[in-house]
Chains A and B, each alone.
Chain A
Amino acid sequence: MSTSRLINGVEVASHFRDVNHQYSSNKEGIWLFMVTEILMFGGLFVGYIIFHSLYPEMFAEGASYLDWKMGFVNTLVLIFSSFTMALGIYYNQVGQPKRATWALAITVLCGAIFMVIKYFEYTHKFHMGIFPGRLINPEMMAEHGHPMQHANLGMYFGFYYCMSGLHGIHVLIGMGLITWVMIRNIKGEFNPKYYTPIEGVGIFWHIVDLIWIFLFPLLYLVG
């Protein structure tokens, strides 16, 4: 970091005018990244909606295998984690880093609870022979008392596993990132003048929540 200088105790790269210039440039980069996230998940949403309108009965059969109570609990867990993530930033802004660390720790814990519930949902489906695409196993499903009604049911679960799986990967990455900023926070690297990494990670975590807000009705409720 030979080309940076200290302004108000914050390291500012030479191409930035001041702390706030650096902060808003960093944040703009995060927002550009968020656009790519919207477009990545958006492609899956568009595919889902189109094939749903082509095969409504088959999608209804697929959705009947999902338990909305699991999705509902996961929605509450993720919303609560978004709230604690916002607190993690807030407490750094007002100079209470200890409380911020707790807020971040609770956020990671909520992410873990989300993944555990997801694990139970997935293994239950694997147990019944429900796999994505052509991997779906009609014999296993019939053995468990749920004979397959539509020959292309695997397509629904292709969407289901891709969308919830990609979202799950985001939750895991988010948990890793929050742990990273939490450790930096414990080391005392953040203060009311500098908390950019927490803000950036926070925006990422909120978009994970945002995507789930739409995934939940799409997968679990509208069948």
Chain B
Amino acid sequence: MANNQSHHNDHGAHAEPHVTPLRTYLNVGAALFALTFLTIIAHVFKAHYLPLAPFIAFGIAAIKAFLVMAWFMHLKYDEPSNRVIFALGFFGLAVLFAFCVIDIFTRVAQGTVL
């Protein structure tokens, strides 16, 4: 994997793709399984911390998503431009969410049904 002798172009040389060791994939897979079980354990005991339950469930989901994106989708070793492109998708989603929420929850009641 480290024999990149041929392509050293002056501009925008693309590096050889990184090969993640098998051990890392096993660790990430095990962590994803463990976090899924943690989600269920948190769900079973959610009566004790009810208002926080969605935040905990989605917090764990976010950690799982990060693991999948960084190692399974190889974003950790990908080019920065691809990370920016993918992040733009989530940015667009945040804009969509923000404007929808601002619209819906600032409406003056007009006696109509949404």
Contacts and interface: CB of A to CB of B under 8 A. Distances in A.
Contact of B25 (A17, A23, A34, A87): A87
A72 B60 CA distance: 14
A86 B25 contact: yes
B72 A85 contact: yes
B97 A93 contact: no
Interface residues of B, number: 54
Nearest to A215: B61
Given A76-B36, A83-B25, A86-B25, A221 B68 contact: no
Main secondary structure on chain A at its contact with chain B? Answer: helix
A35 B82 CA distance: 10
A82 interface: yes
B57 A82 contact: no
B89 A214 contact: no
Interface of A: 8, 17-18, 20-21, 23-24, 27-28, 31-32, 34-39, 42-43, 45-46, 49-50, 54, 68, 72, 75-76, 79-80, 82-83, 85-87, 90, 93-94, 199, 202-203, 206-207, 209-210, 213-214, 216-218, 221-222
